[in-house]
């Protein structure tokens, strides 16, 4: 190996650059000769930075962005045979929201409503047009963890003061509803990670009641004790859950009514659940299969003697605004064990439409 070749190989630098004044081999007239390379200046170019820009929002003619005027949401349930419609839009950089809702009854071929509303962070007003019943709400936050809200029914001349407090760091929550006219505490609750204490007093005919719930860890599970002062009952529920199995026995004192729920999860979204009521012949069983946004369920309810099966498209807990297709629908078939010819098919859907661009 020639000396010039060794020097050139050892002087090379990473990145494909060669150090100045290195020797190289060149062919001249069929003979390999060594010539001295011309000194060069190495200029390193910094890596090109890629700037990711958000996609344009429906660009209009002339390059100006367009905004959606509003959205219309329609919901239908064949069980009630009622179309529920909601129309909303936002103004002033989303600081004000306008809403209108109404129902359509196909059998009677008539509309019910509408109910009109305007909403902001500190004030909201709703008006039921047929009943001429305005409802006003004023909200005032006091610090980071306390918020006060005053609700006033103009037609009934009734008002209520609502206080809400929450500490996310310590898991503490509290709220209370105070009736201004009756000067009575309607509801109130205080919650912590170990349980909750609530109070309810809606009507003088019904005695006020206090509900206390306590949650404690027990045997790799959770024990929930819930007592009602008005009903004079104590409900004890134990819940054990791991990755595949869930067991939930419960008993109600002093009647000793009990139940037991068993759930088993298999691979690929297959789940089976069984609920049994000791001392009776009643039981419920259910099979569930989920895949992406589709959910299939089938089961039997012994108390009603009904076999049923249903198919849902769209996640149950997510609003329709988060669905890619902005559509959720469901089909359910119910077959009576005693009268199979009286089977019923239920249908429902919820669809969102984007209205107008400007």
Sorting pLDDT into bands at 50, 70 and 90, what band is 53? very low
> Quick one: which of 290, 289, 310 has its CA closest to 300?
310
Tell me, letter by letter, the H, E, C secondary structure of 286-352.
EEEEEECCEEEEEEEECCCCEEEEEEEECCCCCCHHHCCCCEEEEEEEEEECCCHHHCEEEEEEEEE
Residues sharing a CB contact under 8 Å with residue 151, sequence separation 6 or more, in sequence order = 135, 136, 137, 159, 160, 161, 162
Sorting pLDDT into bands at 50, 70 and 90, what band is 234? very high
- Coil vs helix vs strand at 6: helix
CB 326 within 8 A of CB 309: no
Sorting pLDDT into bands at 50, 70 and 90, what band is 144? confident
Instruction: For residue range 287-321, list pLDDT tens digits in order.
Output: 999 887 889 999 999 988 999 999 998 765 555 45
Does residue 101 surpass a pLDDT of 60? yes
How big is the chain, counted in residues? 358
Q: Using CA atoms, how far apart are residues 233 and 10, in angstroms rounded to an integer? A: 88
Residues sharing a CB contact under 8 Å with residue 94, sequence separation 6 or more, in sequence order = none
Which pLDDT score is estimated for 69?
80
Sorting pLDDT into bands at 50, 70 and 90, what band is 44? very low
Range in 123-132, 200-209, 332-341 the model is least confident about: 200-209
Sorting pLDDT into bands at 50, 70 and 90, what band is 5? very low
Locus of tokens 């006033």 = 152
- A 10 A CB-CB count for 338 gives 7
Return the higher-pLDDT residue of 27 and 202: 202
Residues sharing a CB contact under 8 Å with residue 170, sequence separation 6 or more, in sequence order = none
> Quick one: which of 188, 128, 178 has its CA closest to 158?
178
> Quick one: which of 155, 149, 210 has its CA closest to 178?
149
Sorting pLDDT into bands at 50, 70 and 90, what band is 2? very low
Does residue 52 surpass a pLDDT of 70? no
Range in 44-58, 255-269, 326-340 the model is least confident about: 44-58
Range in 12-21, 55-64, 284-293 the model is least confident about: 12-21
Task: Return the percentage of the chain with pLDDT > 90, whole number.
Answer: 52
Does residue 139 surpass a pLDDT of 80? yes
Does residue 26 surpass a pLDDT of 50? no
* Predicted TM-score (pTM) of this structure: 0.67
CB 355 within 8 A of CB 71: yes
Q: Quickly list DSSP for 111-165.
A: EEEEEEEEE-SSEEEEEETTTTEEEEEEEEEETTTEEEEEEEETTTTEEEEEEEE
Question: What mean pLDDT comes out for the span 7-32?
Answer: 39
Q: Using CA atoms, how far apart are residues 73 and 71, in angstroms rounded to an integer? A: 7
Q: Using CA atoms, how far apart are residues 42 and 9, in angstroms rounded to an integer? A: 17
> Quick one: which of 307, 302, 347, 300 has its CA closest to 328?
347
Which pLDDT score is estimated for 318?
54
Q: Using CA atoms, how far apart are residues 132 and 156, in angstroms rounded to an integer? A: 11
Beta bridge partners of 150: 138, 161
Q: Is-cis flag, bond preceding 343, omega within 30? A: no
């Amino acid at each position: 190996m020639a000396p010039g070749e060794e020097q050139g190989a050892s002087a090379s630098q990473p990145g494909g650059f060669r150090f100045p004044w290195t020797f190289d081999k060149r062919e001249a007239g069929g003979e390999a000769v060594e010539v001295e390379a011309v000194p060069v200046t190495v200029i390193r170019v910094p890596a090109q930075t890629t700037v990711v820009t958000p996609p344009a929002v429906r660009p209009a003619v002339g390059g100006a962005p367009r905004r959606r005027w509003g959205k219309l949401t329609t919901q239908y349930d064949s069980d009630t045979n009622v179309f529920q419609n909601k129309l909303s839009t936002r103004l002033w950089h989303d600081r004000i929201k306008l809403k209108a809702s109404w129902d359509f009854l196909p059998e009677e071929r008539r509309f019910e409503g509408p109910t009109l509303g305007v909403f902001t962070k500190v004030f909201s007003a709703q008006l039921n047009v047929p009943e001429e019943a305005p409802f006003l709400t004023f909200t005032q936050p006091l610090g980071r963890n306390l918020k006060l809200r005053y609700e006033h029914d103009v037609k009934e001349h009734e008002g209520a003061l609502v206080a809400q407090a929450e500490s996310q760091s310590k898991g503490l929550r509290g709220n209370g509803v105070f009736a201004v006219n009756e000067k009575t505490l309607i509801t109130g609750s205080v919650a912590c990670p170990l349980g909750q204490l609530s109070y309810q007093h809606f009507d003088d005919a019904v005695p006020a009641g206090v509900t206390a719930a306590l949650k404690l860890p027990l045997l790799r599970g959770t024990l929930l004790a819930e007592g009602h002062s008005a009903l004079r009952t104590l409900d004890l529920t134990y819940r054990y859950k791991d990755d595949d199995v869930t067991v939930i026995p419960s008993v109600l004192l002093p009647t000793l009514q009990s139940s037991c729920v068993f759930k088993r999860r298999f691979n690929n979204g297959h789940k089976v659940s069984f609920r049994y009521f000791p001392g009776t012949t009643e039981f419920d069983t259910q099979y569930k299969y989920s895949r992406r946004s589709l959910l299939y369920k089938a089961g039997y309810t012994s108390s009603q003697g009904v076999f049923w099966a249903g198919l849902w498209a769209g996640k149950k807990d997510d609003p329709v605004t988060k669905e890619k297709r902005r559509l959720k629908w469901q089909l359910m078939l119910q077959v009576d064990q005693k009268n199979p010819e009286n089977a019923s098919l239920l249908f429902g859907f919820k669809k969102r439409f984007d209205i107008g661009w400007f």
